[in-house]
Amino acid sequence: NEGLREALANQKRRQKRGKPLPLEQPEEYHGGAVFWSPRKVQEARERLEQKEREGEQLQQQRSEAAKVRRAQQQCKARLIQERRVARAEARVAKAKEKANQAAKRAQKKRSQKAEKLLQNRIKLAKKDAKQGSKHPRKAIKKKKQVAEAVGNGIVVVSGYPVLMSSTNVETDTTDVIICGCGPTGALLSANLSRLKVNHVILEREAEITTDPRGIAVDEDGIRIMQGVGLYEELFRDVGKSMGVFRFIEGGRGLNVAPFLQFDYSTIEGGTGHVGFLCHKQPAMERHLRAKIDQTYGQLRSSSSVVAISEDKGNVYVDYEEGSGKLRRIRGKYLVGADGKTGFIRKKYLEPRGIIMEKSAKFRYEAVWVALNWHITLPTPESHPDFPLWRLGYTPEEVYDLYFPRDFNFICDPTRPSVCGRFGRTVDRLWRFEFVVKPGEDGQKMATPEETQKIIFPYLTHPGRRYVLTENVAFPADCIKCIRSRPFSFSARSCNNWSLGRVILCGDAAHVFPPFGGQGITSGFRDAISLSWRLKIAVRSDSADYQALFAGWAAERKQQLERSLASTIENGNFCNEPSRIKAFIRNWYLWVYQLIPSWKHSLELGGRREGMTRYDY
């Protein structure tokens, strides 16, 4: 027992002794006798500590590597999830689009059917009238048929046939009817609200169109929106200053020095606002609609205008609700703000001689593809191999490099294009528009295969710029295409902007190519100067409304010339097809801009000549 106890005590003591010191030199040490002097012991301790430190470092490295792996996995999972969500959203959007198309087709069919029915009834009525004089007996029979037709929903007001019987149809009354609640209709409504004019807006779509078409509104547009109480909202929710318009040569990337630039980031020479607001059209329309005062204005969505008629003191508008129900509204005036292919001009005024005419000054007509992209910022976690992280760039700096803040007009004789951000910076939206050349198919050019060929060279930077051997492309998986489709652009305006009690404004009366950002603002100008005239016209039945509207159109046409001039100026720089002429022009501008005051005057852009002065 005694022996056993001693053995156990010895073993315990041995265990307490701790780790053996590595007093032996490493293997490569072959130097003679070994002295375990205090220094050696100290060195041995240091070696032990060193080893432990290395162990810890290794452990740390491993855990960091595991962290990075985990982050990568999470990021990958997030990307997969995002893609899944995007696919699901795309599916829903497609289904919605399909349903919309089907509804539109059904509606078109119904309108065609109704129109056919109407034509038949008119023919029948005419025949009846003719035969009535020749064969009185037959006439009685036919008359019966016409009476039936009237019972079926056809009525003639002042000789003009409309679709519905006033007995069966719900009819209400207002002072002004507006067809279309795009930017023009919404701004007109907001102004009529301020002037306390009763009105109803009929809008075909159930919701605001989500496709951002216009992206630039000039300072006059900002001023007009401020007039209906929108300002802070514009720079908070809708967009930001568009900055500088840069005219650059093609094929050399987006960061090359411009041969000419218009500085619209200042208020110099203008109305006190920055030159242009770079906006998201649906957000702007939402805010405009919020300024419609329900006391005076009522917006009826999902209401498609299908027929119009007038008598001495009124205009009657028949419209179809989303449910398919037909209704009628009577007003003193009808404003067609229903866009460039709208019903009011096409179906009602064109047969009466009002047509869209091409501008004699700017015979521009072309198809452009317009793309909207949403950009996600790449990060070191999501794209660890992206070379610019090694050089210390942050995700935000990378975004600025590839999608510059200012707006670029790419004056490439082979493929004129424009591009820039739109909406708020946080929206990360980007527009690229390029011309479709003769012989090319617009639809095909809007496909991802074709657009990538045209746009990606601008999103690939030469490696030498960063002292790298390989070119650096912006990660393609950070780009989501929201819309890509061809549009026809031309400069046209109507020969008359009103007839009787029916008036056209906005795109329904005039259209512009996209180079001057004048489409929306021109509609705003129409609306603001029409609103007070409508107020006068509805106040008194004796008002000479035809003279009022003729004066309005004459006033508007003066300004339209200015809008067209600035559009032409930008367009001509962008669309010069001759390389030689472009080369000479660029050199001329370079020399011209050596004189600072001349350069400054050029940089004022459209503000060079001050604001529009009206002769009448």
Ligand X SMILES: Cc1cc2nc3c(=O)[nH]c(=O)nc-3n(C[C@H](O)[C@H](O)[C@H](O)COP(=O)(O)OP(=O)(O)OC[C@H]3O[C@@H](n4cnc5c(N)ncnc54)[C@H](O)[C@@H]3O)c2cc1C
| Binding positions for ligand X, rule: CB under 6 A | 179-185, 202-205, 213-217, 304-305, 337-339, 342-343, 370, 487, 506-507, 514, 517-521, 523
Beta bridge partners of 502: 334, 499
Q: Who's near 581: CB < 8 A, 6+ residues apart? A: none
Amino acid at 356: M
- Nearer Cβ to ligand X, position 214 or 297? 214
- Nearer Cβ to ligand X, position 214 or 423? 214
**Rounded to the nearest whole angstrom, what is the least distance from the CB of residue 437 to ligand X in the complex?**
18
**Rounded to the nearest whole angstrom, what is the least distance from the CB of residue 503 to ligand X in the complex?**
13
Amino acid at 58: L
**Rounded to the nearest whole angstrom, what is the least distance from the CB of residue 462 to ligand X in the complex?**
31
CA distance 396 to 514: 29
**Rounded to the nearest whole angstrom, what is the least distance from the CB of residue 431 to ligand X in the complex?**
8
* Tokens 């650096």, located at residue: 472
- Nearer Cβ to ligand X, position 64 or 207? 207
Is the CB of residue 489 less than 8 Å from the CB of residue 368?
Answer: yes
**Rounded to the nearest whole angstrom, what is the least distance from the CB of residue 110 to ligand X in the complex?**
13
- Nearer Cβ to ligand X, position 301 or 425? 301
Is the CB of residue 424 less than 8 Å from the CB of residue 282?
Answer: no
DSSP 27-58: TT---S-----HHHHHHHHHHHHHHHHHHHHH
- Nearer Cβ to ligand X, position 472 or 520? 520
Tell me the pairing of strands 333-336 and 502-504: parallel
**Rounded to the nearest whole angstrom, what is the least distance from the CB of residue 240 to ligand X in the complex?**
14
Helix (H) or strand (E) holding 124: helix 38-134
- Nearer Cβ to ligand X, position 77 or 206? 206
CA distance 496 to 99: 37
- Nearer Cβ to ligand X, position 404 or 513? 513
Amino acid at 514: P
**Rounded to the nearest whole angstrom, what is the least distance from the CB of residue 446 to ligand X in the complex?**
11
Phi, psi of 306 (to 5 degrees): -125, -15
CA distance 390 to 226: 47
Is the CB of residue 214 less than 8 Å from the CB of residue 519?
Answer: yes
**Rounded to the nearest whole angstrom, what is the least distance from the CB of residue 480 to ligand X in the complex?**
18
- Nearer Cβ to ligand X, position 185 or 297? 185
Enter the tokens of residue 266. Answer: 């200042």
CA distance 192 to 186: 10
CA distance 264 to 240: 12
Is the CB of residue 245 less than 8 Å from the CB of residue 262?
Answer: yes
Is the CB of residue 295 less than 8 Å from the CB of residue 195?
Answer: no
- Nearer Cβ to ligand X, position 180 or 331? 180
Is the CB of residue 488 less than 8 Å from the CB of residue 443?
Answer: no
Extract long-range pairs of 36-41: CB within 8 Å, 24+ residues apart. Answer: none
Is the CB of residue 506 less than 8 Å from the CB of residue 526?
Answer: yes
**Rounded to the nearest whole angstrom, what is the least distance from the CB of residue 608 to ligand X in the complex?**
20
**Rounded to the nearest whole angstrom, what is the least distance from the CB of residue 208 to ligand X in the complex?**
8
**Rounded to the nearest whole angstrom, what is the least distance from the CB of residue 373 to ligand X in the complex?**
14
CA distance 10 to 436: 94
- Nearer Cβ to ligand X, position 399 or 432? 432
- Nearer Cβ to ligand X, position 401 or 503? 503
